[in-house]
Amino acid sequence: MFSCRSGAALPLRGAVFALALASGFGAAPLVAREMPEAGAAAAAKKPNVVILATGGTIAGAGADAANSATYTAAKVPVDKLIAAVPQVNTIANVRGEQVFQIASESFTDAQLVQLGKRVSQLLKQDDVDGVVVTHGTDTLEETAFFLDLVVKSDKPIVVVGSMRPGTAISADGALNLLDAVTVAASKEAIGQGVTVTMNDYIQCGRDVNKRTNIVPSAFYSQWGPLGMVVEGKTYFFRSLTKRHNMSSEFDIDQIDSLPLVGIVYGSGNMIPGVYDAELQAGAKAIVNAGTGNGSVPGYLVDKLKDIRSKGAIVIRSSRVPDGFVLRNAEQPDDKYDWVVAHDLNPAKAKILAAVALTKTSDTKELQRIFWEY
């Protein structure tokens, strides 16, 4: 694991992120410096924030400044990311660790657990006030929700990515990262659950989804953002009402692996064999990303009842981005012993199912968990 610590505050420099990265990630490697006494006193007053880097587009690089979509993710190491946004040092004492260097679509459950344990470990330290996780945007919403469920800490945890690599014209990573450090260092963020800073917004890690694969305004929650970050100040307007972090019954310290949960995407003319393949692969639960209200086609009802009778859990989620799945509405969940995913999209339902299954496979308990988290 790579580790670095940034030094005293540096002057503001416009577009330094893109320039540092465009020039062959040419920012000088950071070295520990002797701090003058005044500097040491100032550092003592600032919160301590650790940036855990995992890769993604925020660490991506393209061949040309016009390449906003054609680039390689997970290239730039954490020390270069921090050096390219020296403004973070005016907000906090920042140090970085390279946990992984991957595109987020390549995240495995084992890596999720490893990351969760590291976040938890750091936040138990008195000299850490907040953690930022830099992450690819593809599965950022899953990691944010996972950390929300399993890290027992009130301290701010901020997951951040970017839609454009740092080498692109109008790269969004620098401001997103600065905003992430701002939130991680802020007292207002304590107890707010895992947040995501993208495009000036403070999004709720539980609720937020990536809605488009192109523009910086890609992240959206049907319940609205929690607030905004503007010029180094946080503005919170609402709070998460669901159980999370300190009020969660789950704890990463008690989780060493996650059970396999599959997702089957609903459409017209489905084939039952997909469900069999999930079970054969060892899935303990299947999230049915059904049409509309998480509907299961009539010709598949027996298949899903059969899956349930064999012990696997059936969870009805929906492929519809907004709204929430109603229990016992069009389909008799009580009768079939199915669980509904409430407002969680299939990917988030998969995370909650996997975490919940580490404790129980009782469907009543699982449904309670889906209502409460």
Catalytic residue among 54, 134, 137, 234: 137
Q: Is 248 in the site for ligand ASP (CB under 6 A)?
A: no
Give whichever of 105 and 302 is closer to ligand ASP, judged by the CB atom: 105
Q: Is 103 in the site for ligand ASP (CB under 6 A)?
A: yes
Residue 10 three-state SS: coil
Name the closest residue to ligand ASP (Cβ). Answer: 136
Close Cβ partners of 146 (under 8 Å, ≥ 6 residues apart): 112, 116, 351, 355
Give whichever of 132 and 340 is closer to ligand ASP, judged by the CB atom: 132
Close Cβ partners of 253 (under 8 Å, ≥ 6 residues apart): 117, 120, 152
Give whichever of 56 and 262 is closer to ligand ASP, judged by the CB atom: 56
- Rounded Cα distance, 173 and 326, in Å: 38
Tell me if 104 is assigned to a ligand binding site: yes
User: What's the min distance (Å) between Cβ of 74 and ligand ASP?
Assistant: 7
Query: Which position has the token pair 């449904």?
Result: 367
Residue 3 phi/psi, 5° resolution? -140, 140
User: What's the min distance (Å) between Cβ of 217 and ligand ASP?
Assistant: 13
- Give the interface segment with ligand ASP, choosing from 15-23, 42-50, 135-143, 189-197 (CB under 6 A): 135-143
By the 10 Å C-beta count (0-12 exposed, 13-18 middle, 19+ buried), 29 is classed as exposed
Binding residues for ligand ASP, rule CB under 6 A, total: 11
Residue 344 phi/psi, 5° resolution? -80, 135
Tell me if 129 is assigned to a ligand binding site: no
Q: Is 197 in the site for ligand ASP (CB under 6 A)?
A: no
- Give the interface segment with ligand ASP, choosing from 134-142, 174-182, 334-342, 360-368 (CB under 6 A): 134-142
List alpha helices for the chain, DSSP H. 16-22, 37-45, 78-83, 88-91, 109-123, 140-150, 173-184, 273-280, 298-309, 333-336, 346-357, 363-372
Q: Is 73 in the site for ligand ASP (CB under 6 A)?
A: yes
Binding residues for ligand ASP, rule: CB under 6 A, are: 56-57, 73, 103-105, 136-138, 161, 163
The residues assigned a catalytic role are 57, 137
| Binding-site annotation: residue ranges for substrate | 104, 137-138
